[in-house]
Amino acid sequence: MKAERTRKEAKKLPGPKRKAAELEDENPEEREIESPMDMPGAAASPVQPIPASIDMQAAFQQFLATMSSRSGVALAPADSNPEQENKRDAKHLERARLKAEKDATKAEKEAIRAQKKEAAKAAKAAENCLALAAKAVAGLASLSTDLAAVKIPKDTPEVIADPVMQAKSNIASMVKASRAVITASKRKDFASNTPTLDFDAKQMAISVGEARAAMKKLQDYVQLVGI
């Protein structure tokens, strides 16, 4: 109905306008808009070409800087700088070298300190050993001579004879070892190569007491039996 009224109204128009109205009414869907400018209310927006003078690399770097400032995260540059990387690597190597030298110096000082400590400990042990040896020779030499002169009768019971024989052996061994230590003390390597003594001052005192007691029992036995 609307189209029929339009055709009737178009017949009332003058010749050229009526012809245009008839054409528009016949194929309203086939009309084409030749340009966006033909659309009602369309604004002109011409495409601007990219100037040849723009540095694309600089523009990209500017884009990265803009994105970094917006996101708060630093973006890696498109191309790394070999010179800066070489300087950074050189700094790391120098830092590692200095640390290695510091650690080596520290280890060397600790080794020297430990060596001195061991040397002092060995020297103290050698000094104590020499003192004991000197004391043993001074205290046991005469006793050893007395024991060597003791004669045990043939029929002496073992309970009396054996302690005397054991005392002779013990005291003689102590004196011999002590004299070896005194002789070794004259060498330059005495502190690092000290002969050892298998007894201490307490054991030496016990051995002296046992030797004198054995000698006294033997003497009492001999007097008792009238040998």
Q: How far is CA 61 from CA 54, 55, 204, in A?
A: 13, 10, 93
What was the pLDDT predicted at 212? 95
Residue pLDDT, tens place only, 147-180: 999 999 988 999 999 999 999 999 999 999 999 9
- In angstroms, the CA 50 to CA 59 distance is 12
CB atoms within 10 A of CB 172: 16
Stated pTM of the model: 0.51
Residue pLDDT, tens place only, 95-117: 999 999 999 999 999 999 998 88
Rg (CA), the chain: 60
